[in-house]
Amino acid sequence: MQNITIAIDGFSSCGKSTLAKALAYKLNYKYIDTGAMYRAVTLFAIRKHWIDAEKNINTQALIGALPEIELGFANNPETHHSDITLNGENVEQEIRLMPVSSVVSKVSTIKEVREKMVALQRQMGKRKGVVMDGRDIGTNVFPKAELKLFMTADPEVRARRRADEYSSKGQYFSIEEIKHNLQQRDQEDLNRKEKKLIHDLQLLAQQNAPKT
């Protein structure tokens, strides 16, 4: 059977990566978590102290340092999943923590960051046989993907998923706090001025909104 490209888009904590990992495992495809890539760039900026407590980003410094940022995915023999590496260091755990989660949407609005990530993603997926999840995969990274999926989930379910993820790493937040973070990120994701993302996400979110 011929390999294809599978694009999975949707908001945070809707189960995109769970589905993507399962598909990649079943089909023996490569799984690329593009959110992890934006998170790793964010971690890089945090470590350089280019993001302050008010979430102001030293954008120029970060843009200037983009050529120094090398991202990759390494197979984790314990989980059989691929962990993200930042300049050779496995940062899979650290990128999931609140300091990164609370500012990653802002970092991902930087045009130059997006350009670099999209170019890398296209390079990583050029041979097909790939499952890629994110926000702009079916619309921008691989508009010709043979299979495009968009995922949504109830806000309560999303918050619980995220709470479980944090608590498995020894971090505890109230569901309300997590919901607030998710809502903020949804807004930031939707209001991004980049390309067709806003339009496509709004349209898809409207079409898929749970009926009240």
Q: Pick the binder of ligand DC from 83, 92, 94, 189 (CB under 6 A).
A: 189
Residue 26 CB partners (closer than 8 Å, separation 6+) = none
* CA nearest to 34, candidates 140, 127, 129: 140
What is the amino acid identity at position 71? L
The token duo for 101 is 């989660």
**Residue 181 is a binding residue for ligand DC (CB under 6 A):** no
**Residue 38 is a binding residue for ligand DC (CB under 6 A):** yes
Closer of 38 and 73 to ligand DC (Cβ): 38
Distance in Å, CB of 101 to ligand DC, minimum: 7
**Residue 134 is a binding residue for ligand DC (CB under 6 A):** yes
**Residue 125 is a binding residue for ligand DC (CB under 6 A):** no
Mask: binding to ligand DC, 39-68, rule CB under 6 A, as x and -? x-----------------------------
Q: Distance between CA 92 and CA 169 in Å, rounded?
A: 12
Q: Distance between CA 24 and CA 21 in Å, rounded?
A: 5
Closer of 29 and 140 to ligand DC (Cβ): 140
Residue given tokens 């980049």 in the structure block: 194
Total residues belonging to the chain? 212
Q: Pick the binder of ligand DC from 20, 31, 185, 201 (CB under 6 A).
A: 185
Sheet arrangement for strand 89-90: 71-75, 82-86, 89-90
- Residues contributing to the site for ligand DC (CB under 6 A): 12, 34-35, 38-39, 104-105, 108, 134-136, 185, 189
